[in-house]
Amino acid sequence: MTAARSMTLALSLSTLAGCATELPAAGVARGEVLYQNCSQCHGDDGYGSTLVHAPAIAGLPKWYLEAQLTNFQIGWRGAHADDVEGLKMRPMSRTIKSAADVMVVSEYVAGMPAKKSESTLHGDVAKGQAAYAVCSACHGVDGKGNEAMKAPPLTQAQDWYIVKQLGKFKGGVRGYEPKNAAAATMKDISGGIADEAAMRDLAAYIQTLPL
């Protein structure tokens, strides 16, 4: 292990212990150190891990990352008894102690290069394209997202993660908090998706959209 890596890990451990005095004062450098805790699941490159069901987050918009971290912290995500992954993420989100640190770690992750994920599921692209017409109203025809609609980009999302989240929305595991209007809207829309096969079709089409 290099000296630089050892220092980074030491700083990360101090964050977990609630001692932020050794962190850089502000900016991307602070965000990078804070991210070391996140990298345990999301990876050093932010491309996620199927083994721990952690999604790719590299290159997601800062506004979306901030919103989701905050949602986890306040219980709008990760508080449902059936949200296995969310229940793991919520305490991790709370290791970020301030709104300012939520902003800087989000800025760091947003600046990481995004990567197109590889397909892992089988679906009917043509059926998915037809069904995506509903999604495009918020996420855009190109899947690049829309901040005004609180709709994140989908083009770098793994197909398995898309299916997993659609299932959570449809089952009320996500979107159960009515104050979270964007998630509540997704809960309603996902209710119109017939079954997991239809979700796989959507994911297969989204996989065809360029990054």
Q: In the structure, what pLDDT confidence band is assigned to residue 16 with cuts at 50, 70 and 90?
A: very low
| Full residue range of the structural domain in which residue 198 is found | 125-206
Q: Are residues 51 and 101 in the same domain?
A: yes
Q: Are residues 73 and 26 in the same domain?
A: yes
Q: Measuring CA to CA, which residue among 170, 163, 144, 199 is closest to residue 53?
A: 163
Q: Domain for residue 70, yes or no?
A: yes
Considering the entire predicted model, what is its pTM? Answer: 0.87
* Of 178 and 4, the one with more pLDDT: 178
pLDDT digits (tens, 9 = 90+) for 166-175: 999 999 999 9
In the numeric block, the tokens 């793991």 are attached to 88
Average pLDDT for 88-106: 96
Examine the fold and report which residue of 78, 110, 142 is the final residue of a domain before the chain moves on: 110
Average pLDDT for 102-109: 98
Q: Give the chain's domain count.
A: 2
Q: Are residues 106 and 28 in the same domain?
A: yes
Q: Are residues 50 and 145 in the same domain?
A: no
> Over 50: is that where the pLDDT of 110 sits?
yes
Q: Are residues 106 and 9 in the same domain?
A: yes
Cβ contacts of 151 within 8 Å, gap of 6 or more: 138, 139, 140, 145, 182
* 96: CATH: 1.10.760.10
pLDDT the model gives residue 68: 98
Q: In the structure, what pLDDT confidence band is assigned to residue 8 with cuts at 50, 70 and 90?
A: very low
Q: Are residues 11 and 45 in the same domain?
A: yes
Distance CA 131, CA 194 (A): 11
Q: Domain for residue 115, yes or no?
A: no
Distance CA 120, CA 145 (A): 23
In this structure, is the dihedral angle defined by the CA atoms of residues 21, 105, 17 and 43, taken in order, positive or negative?
negative
